[in-house]
Amino acid sequence: MPRTTSKPLPDYLTSGEVDGKDAWRCALPGCGSDWMSRKSIWQHIDNNKTHIARLAAAERSQTRRSGLSISQQNNDDIFDDGPALLPSAHPDAPMDVDDLDEEASADDILCRCFNLNGFDFLMETKADAKNKERAALAESFKTFALFDPAQAASSLGADGFSTAPSDRWEEEDTLTNILREHSISLDGKLDGDDIQRMAYGHQNTVSSDPGWKPYSSKLIFLLDVFDNLPRNPVSDSLLRVLLWMLEELNVDGVPSLYAFRKEQRELRDRSGVPTLRFKSVHGNYYFSNDIRAIIANDYTCRLTRQQLHFYPEIPDGPISEVWHAEKWRHDMDVSTLTPMYIADRATHYYVRELAQDKSGAFYVPVRWVMQHGEMYADAWRVEISQTSGHARILSDPRHDLAFIRADSLRRNFLALKEDGLLPQFSKKSRELEKKMPNPLRALADGDPLYSSFVDLHPDDVSGNRSKSWNKHINVYMTHRNLPRSTVHQEFHHHFVSTSQHASALEQLDAVKTMIDSTHSKPVQVRDATTGESAKFRIFAHAELADNPMQDELSCHMCGNASHNCRKCMSGGTHAEKMTDDGYHALFSPSAAESRSSFETRLEVLRQLNLACTGVSDHVERRQTMTGVNDSYAQPWIDKLIERARALRAGKVEGKPKMTIAQASAELWNSVVLPNQDKIFNPNLRMIGLNIHQDTPVEILHSILLGIIKYIWRHSLSLWNDKIKATFVLRLQSTDILGLSVPPIRAGYLTQYGRSLVGRQLKTVGQTVVFHIHDIVDKEVFDVWKAVGELTALLWLPEIDDMKEYTHDLEIAVANVIDAFCIIDPGKIIWKIKLHLITHSPDDARRFGPLVGLSTEVSECFNAVFRACSIYSNHHAPSRDIALQLAAQEGLKHRLIGGWWLAEDGETWVQSGSGIRGFFEKHPQLQLHMGWSVAKPPVPGTARLAPVQERQPRSWSATLAATTINAADYASQSAGEWTACTSFIAASGDTCRKASWVAADSPTEPGKTIFGRVIEIIVSTESANVLCVLDVFQQSKDRHPMYSMPVLRRPLGEEHRVVLKPTSIHFDFNTQHDCLAAKCSATGERRTTQERIQTDNIEVFIVHAALDVYIVNLHALHNAHRLRRVFDRQLTAPIASSLTAEARRKLHDSLAEKLRGSAAASKAAREAEKEASALNTQGQSLPKRKRIDSPTGEHGASEFVTGDREESGEEVAARVSRSSGLTPSMGTIKLPSRASLQQREAAAAGGA
């Protein structure tokens, strides 16, 4: 019988007003009812099954929180084999313990607990309870949409349900987590209320705050942030503990783990990055995050959109970005650049379309270019014939392009056509006329159309934190339209895919698929700067990786080929490389033809053609000869060879026995031609990508983990323990101010010198040269000087003059290679990195500063990947890791206020103001997310010294009062002055006491002075900051040992000036001239352990009183600024070979030495082979015995062969005669090629 309307409504209903009438709706978690009248709400309460289940869950939850319930296990103990208890208590019915009798029995207590406020106490048998549990569980699964309810109920033994497999992996994982959370198995006792409580937890219903949308509450938002910190992963176990703690603190709205995961999935579906499944042509499955969505996020967020650059730029100052360099300005296919210029909202000018300027002249823009903040265009001129009146487009390369202002254009092609002003074109220009208007205009459909470029970072990474190798092939991505300073932040480094099975090229095929889709259907977004619709296409810009990976990406065999450079055709056979001409050609990239994607694709086709003959040797010889080996096409080549052999043998069913020609034609026509898109490396098919030129020299692996590691290990191998101890003392005395390196641990660097990482080798390369002048040979010291100079040039973040810079770079590269080959002439042949760095000047011209293409951020991002890997269940790591990192991408987008499409597919929405403001106000969260807001320090500000060191004093008591220009600050000298520890220079550098700085001269305007900071003070009255410099003067000549500028006191006297911090340009590093001062380890001090001074004494270097300092040109910090302020004659690289003829002569002598070593090695191998043959035939070798010396000691220089004595000199002469060598030619022993290859592989593995 229905309830009367006069009875009070339950308190879990919320009231409101709809159309002027009172209305109610149910606020129970998960009930989801609409607004209803009073009568309808009672029908909902009495008859709605979902409501009844939700109410039972809420009652059970509150009962357990209040301590009212007794567990099922305890019920079984009390009523053994008796009825099961199913309590039904109202949440508002707390038990008053004082009302119970002291002698009350357990039955009395239990009955009292469940008979308060008129609620019933239900008694059921265990069998009835079990059946009810199964039915409730099936209903709960259906309600919560965990997965197929029939399957779940059947797994519990319930009859009458059909079982069907399910692919909803995430929901199955969620169920597993729920059951594991409560230590419940599918075979255990479980009722519907338990499942509901697990799903929704002990939460109070809290209305959603629009300030925290799309999250249901601030708590859920904070939990999502906590769960998605990139470098601080959270396991489900830890998250359970956190949720439990929140419940214990009575925090409102605490979800269960399942409810939280469910909301995260819904957020990812609405505002996250999709994760897509792919199957490669080789049959491997993997998952990839959609790069189109990742790039779209940069357009829809104001913070990133306003930093995007779409056009080549002619910089007003130094070259610092890729859009300043040659690739964007000249080399890039114009069809891949942003094709349009926006004159106003309704007028768009496209390239390859006729346009008219304000003077009436016609042009066809080819490329849009930015200069001085204004838009210009490279354009073809249009010439109007005076006789026929026909227009001719001067598109021939012989004609120079016009450089016109974009705002001088008056009519675009559509306007000319509409106004009937299109001229008649000549026959030669009609082909261009037929392509007007630009087809991209139709794709844009009135929206702005942009081009986005991505750098791809494939890498092989271990998924474990331990030393156990768990190989994954990863692909990362950066948006190259962003500035370098932004791209190098971890926040803007994006994960694409990973796989333990699919190779990097297989995963890049998925990337190519996503990229190509934007060419026919550009991605539509909401432009965050205009609020209007815009579209973009994506193109690959470059692929950055270590050298073995870049070889694989560019279809190259690495060091096993005759032509072993991926960028050019230098090399040849081993004999050709050791000729004078062949050896010399290895030192210059201009001596060889550059590789191209087109030529490589033709070569792969030739190899496929050879494979169709069924002869594998022909293919292998071709690969070795050319250096082209496409690992992506290799499985096809292997299958073609196998199939061709079967056809020739007549072993293919339905096919007759074929000749070589017939089998080749059959396979070529039926397999190769129809499947070219599947056979070829995707890099050979990407529009706008020249894989050989767009895999630039990567400075982390080629310099730090390449040439610096080579010479560092070589130097360590030359030192005994005593020399190492001396080196440690010297290295520990290095002044690191102005180096931007962590404190040097010299003992560690030396002890574990063969296992250093890039960050440590960076420190080594900047400092070692000052401490080894007398503990290595001159040849090794020359290598250190050359390597340090080259490293500093390659790490320049800005290039003032590209022509001058590349000239200096070519000299520095030549010095390094020559110095290495003087030690070992074969180094240039076996260490391909030495040849690769000869291409660095070309890469700098193409891409700008190479530090912008470093993979250091990618290597750091591996830690983020690893954090996701270790928390995967490892059954589907590619999927799990991609989903987790896609969730992080979605969180980052919501944090910075990005927009996304709502569920209706038309409305754009963004996160609430609470979320956006939260991220802006919490630098700690920005730090954890890898975001760095561009807030440069304010020049001129200072940091006060600790309270105990401030010592306020008058102006006369400061060093500033003793400077030569103290009178300039007399008017500011009133009051007291307090000591400071540091200040901010004009460049943003933090300068401290004892820092070396460059500053404006206070006495000679326009002149730069150099000095050491000896005092920093601030006025307590005016807050003016002043610093005192001890001025030094640069010498006219370089240091004779280090070839670096030298600073000395002017006239040997102390010279002080006082300056404002804004007059100081930057800081730099110097080293004391210990060589001239003869500094030694005369100091003693107690060692410190665990921040406690011990009684152990250690010695240290004490610098002698010689005020001569060497400017460290090997320092990476401010290297570009140093070269601007010091005289070029003191900083420019000096060629070790003064002329080209002298260098050629050096190379010829090295080639001769190399040939001699090779011949001697060959003779030794042949002798060993001959001896082995004699042993095999059972013949005894001539007996060799040692002859005692006349003194009775064993002589080491005389031997007996058979019955004849033969001295060591005679043995050497005999070997020389047999090999055709003179004794001087065999002084260097060349290891076998196999052993050198093993060393190369071991070194690459160590790197």
Calculate what percentage of the chain has a pLDDT beyond 90. Answer: 57
| Per-residue pLDDT, 197 | 47
511-538: average pLDDT:
94
**Contact 918/955 with Cβ under 8 angstroms?**
no
> For 9-13, 183-187, 823-827, 938-942, which range has the lowest pLDDT when averaged over its residues?
183-187
| Per-residue pLDDT, 48 | 78
Report the C-alpha gap between 495 and 888 in whole angstroms. Answer: 10
Q: Is the pLDDT of residue 401 over 90?
A: no
Q: What are the structural domains, with CATH classification, of the chain?
A: 13-189 (no CATH), 275-304+453-548+857-923 (no CATH), 340-437 (no CATH), 557-684 (no CATH), 710-826 (no CATH), 942-1131 (2.30.30), 1140-1246 (no CATH)
Report the relative pairing of strands 313-314 and 362-371 from DSSP bridges.
Answer: parallel
The DSSP line for 1150-1168 is: HHHHHHHHHHHHHHHHHHH
| Per-residue pLDDT, 421 | 87
The DSSP line for 243-256 is: HHHHHHTT-TTPPP
pLDDT band at 15 (very low <50, low <70, confident <90, very high): confident
Report the C-alpha gap between 353 and 356 in whole angstroms. Answer: 10
544-562: average pLDDT:
89
pLDDT band at 949 (very low <50, low <70, confident <90, very high): confident
| Per-residue pLDDT, 816 | 96
* Strands annotated E in 394-488: 402-405, 409-411, 449-462, 471-479
pLDDT band at 422 (very low <50, low <70, confident <90, very high): confident
| Per-residue pLDDT, 304 | 93
| Per-residue pLDDT, 948 | 84
325-345: average pLDDT:
92
Q: Is the pLDDT of residue 155 over 80?
A: no
Q: Is the pLDDT of residue 765 over 80?
A: yes
C-alpha R_g of the chain:
39
| Per-residue pLDDT, 341 | 93
State both tokens at 977: 């002055």
Calculate what percentage of the chain has a pLDDT beyond 70. Answer: 81
> For 562-576, 638-652, 1013-1027, 1222-1236, which range has the lowest pLDDT when averaged over its residues?
1222-1236
| Per-residue pLDDT, 59 | 66
Q: Is the pLDDT of residue 1231 over 50?
A: no
Q: Is the pLDDT of residue 16 over 90?
A: no
The DSSP line for 842-909 is: HHHHHHS-GGGG--HHHHHHHHHHHHHHHTS-SSSHHHHHHHHHHHHHHHHHHHTT-EEE-TTSS-EE
Q: Is the pLDDT of residue 344 over 80?
A: yes
Q: Is the pLDDT of residue 970 over 90?
A: no
Q: Is the pLDDT of residue 91 over 80?
A: no
> For 236-240, 711-715, 810-814, which range has the lowest pLDDT when averaged over its residues?
236-240
State both tokens at 394: 């001067």
Mapped onto helix, strand or coil, the DSSP state of residue 265 is helix
Residues, the chain? 1247
Mind listing the pLDDT tens digit for each residue in 251-265? 988 999 999 999 999
| Per-residue pLDDT, 9 | 76
What is the residue type of 969?
Y
| Per-residue pLDDT, 590 | 77
pLDDT band at 195 (very low <50, low <70, confident <90, very high): very low
- Give which of 427, 466, 1245 is closest to 869, Cα–Cα: 466
Report the C-alpha gap between 931 and 924 in whole angstroms. Answer: 10
Q: Is the pLDDT of residue 858 over 50?
A: yes
Q: Is the pLDDT of residue 90 over 80?
A: no
Sequence-ordered list of residues with C-beta below 8 angstroms from that of 538, at least 6 positions apart, any chain: 291, 292, 295, 451, 452, 453, 454, 514, 515, 518, 523
694-698: average pLDDT:
94
| Per-residue pLDDT, 39 | 74
* Strands annotated E in 385-510: 391-393, 402-405, 409-411, 449-462, 471-479, 494-499
pLDDT band at 390 (very low <50, low <70, confident <90, very high): confident
Q: Is the pLDDT of residue 118 over 50?
A: no
What is the residue type of 734?
T
| Per-residue pLDDT, 1200 | 36
Phi, psi of 219 (to 5 degrees): -60, -45
790-794: average pLDDT:
96
| Per-residue pLDDT, 1203 | 40
pLDDT band at 770 (very low <50, low <70, confident <90, very high): very high
**Contact 705/711 with Cβ under 8 angstroms?**
no
State both tokens at 319: 């070259």
Report the C-alpha gap between 117 and 95 in whole angstroms. Answer: 10
**Contact 241/235 with Cβ under 8 angstroms?**
no
| Per-residue pLDDT, 1174 | 80
Mind listing the pLDDT tens digit for each residue in 135-149? 554 444 444 433 443
State both tokens at 117: 């406020």
Sequence-ordered list of residues with C-beta below 8 angstroms from that of 172, at least 6 positions apart, any chain: 147, 166
pLDDT band at 434 (very low <50, low <70, confident <90, very high): confident
234-256: average pLDDT:
92
| Per-residue pLDDT, 110 | 34
> For 278-282, 399-403, 491-495, 1192-1196, which range has the lowest pLDDT when averaged over its residues?
1192-1196
Q: Is the pLDDT of residue 4 over 50?
A: no
| Per-residue pLDDT, 202 | 43
pLDDT band at 973 (very low <50, low <70, confident <90, very high): confident
Q: Is the pLDDT of residue 440 over 50?
A: yes
* Strands annotated E in 266-358: 275-279, 285-289, 313-314, 340-344, 347-350, 355-357
| Virtual torsion, Cα 356, 359, 360, 363, nearest 10 deg | -40
| Virtual torsion, Cα 597, 603, 608, 609, nearest 10 deg | 140
* Mean pLDDT across the chain: 82
